[in-house]
Chains A and B, each alone.
Chain A
Amino acid sequence: MERRIGVFVCHCGSNIAGVVDVKRVAEELRKYPGVAYSTDYTYMCSDPGQNLVKDAIKKHDLTGVIVAACSPTLHETTFRRAGRAAGVNPYQVEIANIREHCSWVHQGEKEAATEKATRIIKTMVEKAVLDEALDPIAVPMTHRALVVGAGISGIQAALDIANAGYEVIVVEKDPSIGGHMAQLSETFPTLDCSQCIMTPKMVEVSQHPKIKLMTYSEIDDVSGYVGSFKVKIRKKAAYVDRDTCNGCGLCMEKCPAKTPSEFDEGLADRKAIYTPFPQAVPNKPVIDAEHCTYFLKDGKCGICQKICPVDAVDFEQKDEIIEEEVGAIIVATGYDLYPIENMGEYGGGKYEDVITSLQFERMLSASGPTGGEVLRPSDGEVPNEVVFLTCCGSRDPELHMPYCSKVCCMYLTKHAMLYKHKVHDGQAYVFYMDVRTAGKGYEEFYTRAAEEDDVLYVRGKVSKIFEEDGKVMVWGVDTLTGKKVEIAADLVVLGLATVPNVAAKELANKLKIHTDEWGFLAEAHPKLRPVESLSPGFYLAGAAQGPKDIPEAVAQASGAASKVADLFAEEEYHREPIIAVINDDTCAGCKVCVSVCPYDAAEFIEEDGVARIQEAICEGCGACIAACPSGSAQQRNLTDEQLYRMVSAALEG
């Protein structure tokens, strides 16, 4: 059948037309073999633009369409939809990217850019003439979601999906859910108690009939694809049968082994058999074998086992692997603070009275190790002068992290304010570069700290901190006066950068989802698809994707949950058909494709002696195509022949 390709050159306002001579390009293409129609228009993605495409398809009886415009990530779907409406198979609608690949990078080289744009479109024409009509592949859908991480983001996402009527499995690596939010004292800008708003949600998760909660568990492996993932979950040995345990707490009382509490950020000790905090969910302990006398001293001790009234302690317990099937996965692995030891000039990790913001949170917390009193770790005295530093490791591309951690300005303002509420006579100083208060009620909160609580904001960075005569000397600067500043402080709180949870990078590798160079999970599109990963079926929530405060984390979690509900609304999932196929006639059965396929989509059919690609699994990565020695493996609509023709067109002349 004769192919009749239509070419539609978009001006993108002046984005393309300002550099590329679009009229000439359209004219040039009109003469190109296979092209039946060619035109240009100001905004092809607009309604009139799309109608222009649709009308031309009908009027000129087009079998394929090239839209020469921006990147396909922006409007490929738009034009495929338009093509389908006018009777062209969506997979015979192609985008020639002449904006990002041409006009934007060749400003000031109009002639050469015009020539390049023409070539780019010609290569796509060569592809289009051989494009087959394809249909999306329908695969079955498991209407059950997995949420990894149970801080506020994971909890919110799980509750939303469960409330929409779908089953959810929540996996949390720690013994309790709650994440960092459970550690916080009061929250900005309303100063409501974090525990008070958090614990009801934690309880709700644990009691929801649609939610299966797996704490002290980690993801071992994920295979499959959107709609039907197979997940291996490692339930770590807790050495306590947590179903039998009634949470009486006797074991924790009697356990002789102590180690610094992670929940209290090292400001207090916990036992080797422990729950992270009294409101833990589930409120049942685990044994930390690394610090347990029984494990360290070859069976000596075992007090917990002896006194447990329900015989729940089981030193023989082993890790257990549990397999589950889910249709979608939300990753909500959260954040950590940048290591304080990395701030050498501030004596981080060296001076007891230079502490992290999370340590200060624990100090402020009514249920914290000091019962809510602000006390210097070194001597337990009430500090009279406290210095708070923003941007410790943030906005420091040279030595630390280049990005703004977003929450520090606000939480340090809160810290300074709460300190003043507890130590009325005390003085709080905040060293800042910019006080970033972009949030509802945030600017007012900051103003209140400065004006009503006498928090002194000093504009400048601190260069050095050291101990002298029982004080923590702070060498800073006030750039507004150009004066070097010295404060003999009692306590210094570092607003350390927010970094992705240490385990998140490894998990992202297991899940095969992208991260940015710092390890934050990468969203599919920074503006239009902020809660989805580029890998289908994976969704992002909370600080794992980038620094955020509680309302933002909750909003993103709800966004991710609604995306999952959206996905689950269909009985089947439709996948892209641009995948590999193997030609039975030429396949020699060498099985190279089977060995290289990262998704286990290529299988060998014994009775036929040939390999076959399982449509439901193939991601279209192309590994088998490159490896196949006989050229039998081909990508649909990206066949070798198409590629040869495209390359020839690109290099022509």
Chain B
Amino acid sequence: MKIPYYPGCTLHERARDFDVSARECAKALGVELEELPIWTCCGAVFPLVTDSVMDILAGVRNLEYASRIGDKLVTLCSFCYNVLKRTNRVMRDDLEKREKANLFLRADTAAREEVESYTKTDYTGQVEVLHYIEMLRDVVGFDELRKKVENGLGGLNVAPYYGCMLLRPKKEMEFDDPEQPTVFEDLLATLGCDIVDFPMKTECCGGFQIVNDEELAVMCSQNVVSSAIKRNADVIVTTCPLCRYNLDKKQEEMIERVRGFRRIPVIYFTQLLGLALGIDEEHIDFSDNYVDPRPVLAEKSLL
């Protein structure tokens, strides 16, 4: 089964481990993630002001590219997922913005002299934007997934961190209950993990403020990390490269701030999934983690 796949800039560069592990896992589950032949940055943040047609164009272009090869689009990065899903909704429901955005698309096509090869039908939000977790749940199915688990992850205490962008705004993302979400837990339970319920799992990691106000962002991340540590998590699992960066890399700062700070690995859920599916460690690639997860994984006999 082929599904159009949008990796996004960060997975193309700084989060290659996320991308590679996700592709390998999908393959093991009989799904081929077909990377869009052309794609651009999605814009990273969805504009919250109302007069923004230019600001959503990047997202619209990628959705339109996807519509040429399929009716779904899978993505992994929480930011990309949020931007694409919300942009898609605008294209579906906001007729005025849809019309304007399509004018730009036509100009693009003309510029690339693709007029002949490409039929000029408007993009109307017809592509279904899926998060990889939704793909696992709805396309593969957790029951099917469970059958393919080769190494159960029993004994590993995993704290699933949702962050913000998967869940909010609820009406648009329709991903899960924004207050007491469960889909991540359901996935991890399928892999046999022991789940650590921690109250900060939907609190913000500081996001892009890491660029503007590092101290602020580290404070946010520390709140999340400490909450998981306190509940005896072995690892924190995330779906977002920026969360990963703030929670993992910034432990460097947390050590400076907090006496006796105990470090905790922060890994992508696809890396855990890879372990469970018995995928080669080289494809899972733990080398980019600041806090190395390998010792704890080895200790639990998972490597």
Q: Is there a direct interface between A and B, measured as CB atoms under 8 Å apart in the complex? A: yes
Q: Report which A residues bind B (CB closer than 8 A).
A: 344-345, 347, 350, 464, 466-468, 473
Q: Say whether A344 contacts B179, CB under 8 Å.
A: yes
> What is the predominant secondary structure among interface residues of chain B facing chain A?
loop
Q: Say whether A468 contacts B199, CB under 8 Å.
A: yes
Residues of B within 8 A of A344 (CB): 177-180
Closest 7 CB pairs of A and B: A344-B179, A466-B199, A344-B180, A345-B179, A344-B177, A350-B180, A467-B199
Residues of B within 8 A of A345 (CB): 179
How many residues on chain B are close to A (CB under 8 Å)? 6
CB distance from A68 to the nearest CB of B (A): 43
Across the interface, name the chain B residue whose C-beta is closest to A343. B179
Residues of B within 8 A of A473 (CB): 199
Across the interface, name the chain A residue whose C-beta is closest to B179. A344
CB distance from A472 to the nearest CB of B (A): 11
The CA of A473 and the CA of B200, in the complex, are separated in Å by 12
Residues of A within 8 A of B179 (CB): 344-345
Across the interface, name the chain A residue whose C-beta is closest to B197. A350
The CA of A347 and the CA of B177, in the complex, are separated in Å by 12
The CA of A316 and the CA of B102, in the complex, are separated in Å by 71
CB distance from B227 to the nearest CB of A (A): 8
**Which of chain B's residues 188-244 have a Cβ closer than 8 Å to chain A?**
199, 230
The CA of A473 and the CA of B179, in the complex, are separated in Å by 16
The CA of A464 and the CA of B180, in the complex, are separated in Å by 11
Residues of A within 8 A of B230 (CB): 468
The CA of A467 and the CA of B180, in the complex, are separated in Å by 14
The CA of A454 and the CA of B179, in the complex, are separated in Å by 33
Residues of A within 8 A of B177 (CB): 344
Residues of B within 8 A of A347 (CB): 180
CB distance from B102 to the nearest CB of A (A): 32
9 A-B residue pairings within 8 Å (CB atoms): A344-B177, A344-B178, A344-B179, A344-B180, A345-B179, A347-B180, A464-B199, A467-B199, A473-B199
The CA of A345 and the CA of B199, in the complex, are separated in Å by 10
The CA of A468 and the CA of B200, in the complex, are separated in Å by 11
The CA of A347 and the CA of B179, in the complex, are separated in Å by 8
Across the interface, name the chain A residue whose C-beta is closest to B181. A344
The CA of A468 and the CA of B179, in the complex, are separated in Å by 17
Q: Apart from A344-B179, A344-B180, A473-B199, what 10 extra A-B contacts exist at CB < 8 Å?
A: A344-B177, A344-B178, A345-B179, A347-B180, A350-B180, A464-B199, A466-B199, A467-B199, A468-B199, A468-B230
Across the interface, name the chain B residue whose C-beta is closest to A398. B171
Across the interface, name the chain A residue whose C-beta is closest to B230. A468
**Which of chain B's residues 239-256 have a Cβ closer than 8 Å to chain A?**
none
The CA of A182 and the CA of B177, in the complex, are separated in Å by 36
The CA of A473 and the CA of B230, in the complex, are separated in Å by 15
CB distance from A434 to the nearest CB of B (A): 25
The CA of A473 and the CA of B180, in the complex, are separated in Å by 16
CB distance from B229 to the nearest CB of A (A): 13
CB distance from A195 to the nearest CB of B (A): 37
Across the interface, name the chain B residue whose C-beta is closest to A344. B179
Q: Which one of B178, B179, B230 has the greatest number of beta carbons of chain A within 10 Å?
A: B179
Across the interface, name the chain A residue whose C-beta is closest to B170. A399
The CA of A399 and the CA of B199, in the complex, are separated in Å by 21
The CA of A344 and the CA of B180, in the complex, are separated in Å by 6
The CA of A467 and the CA of B198, in the complex, are separated in Å by 9
CB distance from A340 to the nearest CB of B (A): 12
The CA of A473 and the CA of B203, in the complex, are separated in Å by 15
Across the interface, name the chain B residue whose C-beta is closest to A341. B180
The CA of A473 and the CA of B227, in the complex, are separated in Å by 13
CB distance from A353 to the nearest CB of B (A): 14
The CA of A345 and the CA of B177, in the complex, are separated in Å by 10
Residues of A within 8 A of B178 (CB): 344
CB distance from A345 to the nearest CB of B (A): 5
CB distance from A575 to the nearest CB of B (A): 48
Residues of B within 8 A of A464 (CB): 199
Across the interface, name the chain B residue whose C-beta is closest to A350. B180
Across the interface, name the chain B residue whose C-beta is closest to A467. B199
Interface string of B138-160 (1 = CB under 8 A from A): 00000000000000000000000
Residues of A within 8 A of B199 (CB): 464, 466-468, 473
CB distance from A352 to the nearest CB of B (A): 14
Residues of B within 8 A of A350 (CB): 180
The CA of A466 and the CA of B202, in the complex, are separated in Å by 12
The CA of A542 and the CA of B197, in the complex, are separated in Å by 42
Residues of A within 8 A of B180 (CB): 344, 347, 350
The CA of A345 and the CA of B178, in the complex, are separated in Å by 9
CB distance from B116 to the nearest CB of A (A): 50
The CA of A347 and the CA of B180, in the complex, are separated in Å by 8
The CA of A345 and the CA of B180, in the complex, are separated in Å by 7
Across the interface, name the chain A residue whose C-beta is closest to B199. A466
Across the interface, name the chain A residue whose C-beta is closest to B177. A344
The CA of A427 and the CA of B178, in the complex, are separated in Å by 32
The CA of A455 and the CA of B245, in the complex, are separated in Å by 45
CB distance from A296 to the nearest CB of B (A): 29
Across the interface, name the chain B residue whose C-beta is closest to A342. B179
The CA of A345 and the CA of B179, in the complex, are separated in Å by 5
The CA of A280 and the CA of B265, in the complex, are separated in Å by 59
CB distance from A383 to the nearest CB of B (A): 20
The CA of A344 and the CA of B202, in the complex, are separated in Å by 12
The CA of A106 and the CA of B179, in the complex, are separated in Å by 45
Interface string of B30-45 (1 = CB under 8 A from A): 0000000000000000
CB distance from A441 to the nearest CB of B (A): 38
The CA of A468 and the CA of B228, in the complex, are separated in Å by 12
Across the interface, name the chain A residue whose C-beta is closest to B180. A344
Across the interface, name the chain B residue whose C-beta is closest to A469. B230
CB distance from B106 to the nearest CB of A (A): 38
CB distance from A299 to the nearest CB of B (A): 37
The CA of A350 and the CA of B230, in the complex, are separated in Å by 19
CB distance from A562 to the nearest CB of B (A): 47
Across the interface, name the chain B residue whose C-beta is closest to A464. B199
Residues of B within 8 A of A466 (CB): 199
CB distance from B254 to the nearest CB of A (A): 19
The CA of A222 and the CA of B179, in the complex, are separated in Å by 43
The CA of A344 and the CA of B201, in the complex, are separated in Å by 13
Residues of B within 8 A of A468 (CB): 199, 230
CB distance from A468 to the nearest CB of B (A): 7
The CA of A467 and the CA of B178, in the complex, are separated in Å by 18
CB distance from A598 to the nearest CB of B (A): 38
The CA of A513 and the CA of B177, in the complex, are separated in Å by 35
The CA of A62 and the CA of B178, in the complex, are separated in Å by 69
The CA of A344 and the CA of B199, in the complex, are separated in Å by 12
CB distance from B211 to the nearest CB of A (A): 25
The CA of A468 and the CA of B177, in the complex, are separated in Å by 22
The CA of A475 and the CA of B79, in the complex, are separated in Å by 27
Q: Which one of B178, B180, B230 has the greatest number of beta carbons of chain A within 10 Å?
A: B180
CB distance from A341 to the nearest CB of B (A): 9
Interface string of B165-185 (1 = CB under 8 A from A): 000000000000111100000
The CA of A222 and the CA of B199, in the complex, are separated in Å by 51
CB distance from A34 to the nearest CB of B (A): 50
CB distance from B286 to the nearest CB of A (A): 31
The CA of A344 and the CA of B177, in the complex, are separated in Å by 8
CB distance from A392 to the nearest CB of B (A): 13
CB distance from A404 to the nearest CB of B (A): 23
CB distance from A460 to the nearest CB of B (A): 19
Interface string of B18-58 (1 = CB under 8 A from A): 00000000000000000000000000000000000000000
CB distance from A263 to the nearest CB of B (A): 28
The CA of A466 and the CA of B179, in the complex, are separated in Å by 11
CB distance from A492 to the nearest CB of B (A): 14
Across the interface, name the chain A residue whose C-beta is closest to B171. A398
CB distance from A396 to the nearest CB of B (A): 13
The CA of A491 and the CA of B199, in the complex, are separated in Å by 17
CB distance from A463 to the nearest CB of B (A): 10
The CA of A347 and the CA of B199, in the complex, are separated in Å by 9
Residues of B within 8 A of A467 (CB): 199
